[in-house]
Amino acid sequence: MSLPVLYSFRRCPYAMRARLALAISGMDIRIREVVLRDKPAAMLAASPKGTVPVLVLPDGTVIDESLDVMKWALARNDPENWLGADSAETQALITQSDGPFKHALDRYKYPTRYDGLNPEAQRADGLAILTEWNARIAASGGQLLGPQRTLADMALFPFVRQFAATDREWFAAQPLPALQEWLAGHLASPLFKSIMTKHAQWQPGAEEPLLAVAS
């Protein structure tokens, strides 16, 4: 293995944010597209927890947390200075996203997986956090921590995308103009489009395409 290999699932928000950072770094990365109901043995051998993303380096080192993949890539090349934003604010936003926002998102999007909950109440909890982020974006000049995209934007964006897609009509009607513009901008960006290229399920011995690179 001469290049790093990324086990990924196209629609997983954790894998998306890893791919965003890897793509902006410009490094050559081999992609192995995973079907989560049919996880390859090689991925499970590298990371028994069985979730994506999993980045396997040529020396055998395994990085299997999305934020660690992002930071690994940006530590090697960070052309837009995503790591230059305030680290405490960045971490606070990611903690909020991966904690209470993801909790509400899962229960809003997949209510049948949980007993005795009201999905509309979960949606309201998510909306309250989005309202905070909307105000922050409006005050910061277009992104979460200023006018330029940073690690925080790229770490949160895939989860906001998932929340918005659960009921697009309802989401479009909410008073979140700054956040809606922010989301639309990231959805339309060449960077996001590049990391959403469709790949066939990887099988041992199959071709391993390179992750597309775009700015």
Residue 123 has pLDDT above 70, yes or no: yes
H or E segment to which residue 33 belongs: strand 30-33
Task: Judge whether 53 and 44 are in contact, CB under 8 Å.
Answer: no
Sequence-ordered alpha helix ranges (H) in 80-176: 87-96, 102-109, 119-140, 151-166, 168-172
Give the whole-angstrom CA distance, residue 201 versus residue 8.
10
pLDDT tens digits for 24-34? 999 999 999 99
Cis peptide leading into residue 53 (ω within 30°): yes
Average pLDDT over residues 199-211: 94
pLDDT tens digits for 26-76? 999 999 999 999 999 999 999 999 999 999 999 999 999 999 999 999 999
For residue 4, how far is the Cα from the chain centroid? 19
What's the token pair of residue 204?
A: 């041992």
pLDDT tens digits for 134-166? 999 999 999 999 999 999 999 999 999 999 999
The model's confidence at residue 10, banded by pLDDT at 50, 70 and 90, is very high
DSSP label at residue 173: T
Matching residue, tokens 């604010």:
89
Give the whole-angstrom CA distance, residue 13 versus residue 21.
13
Residue 215 has pLDDT above 60, yes or no: no
What confidence score (pLDDT) does residue 1 get?
61
What confidence score (pLDDT) does residue 186 get?
98
What confidence score (pLDDT) does residue 115 get?
87
For residue 35, how far is the Cα from the chain centroid? 17
CATH architecture of 82-190: Up-down Bundle (1.20)
What confidence score (pLDDT) does residue 116 get?
84
What confidence score (pLDDT) does residue 212 get?
85
Identify the CATH number of the domain defined by range 5-80: 3.40.30.10
Angle between helix axes 119-140 and 151-166 (nearest 10 degrees) is 140
The model's confidence at residue 214, banded by pLDDT at 50, 70 and 90, is low
What confidence score (pLDDT) does residue 87 get?
95
Residue 132 has a CB neighbour count (10 Å cut-off) of 14
What confidence score (pLDDT) does residue 192 get?
97
Mean per-residue pLDDT of the chain? 96
Closest CA to 148 of 72, 81, 70: 81
Q: Which percentage of the chain shows pLDDT scores above 70?
A: 99
Buried b (16+ CB within 10 A) or exposed e, 44-57: eebbeeebbbbbbe
3-class DSSP state for residue 144? coil
Average pLDDT over residues 167-196: 98
Give the whole-angstrom CA distance, residue 88 versus residue 80.
19
Per-domain residue ranges of the chain = 5-80, 82-190
pLDDT tens digits for 124-136? 999 999 999 999 9
DSSP label at residue 112: G
What lies within 8 Å, CB to CB, of 83 at 6+ separation is 71, 74, 75, 150, 151
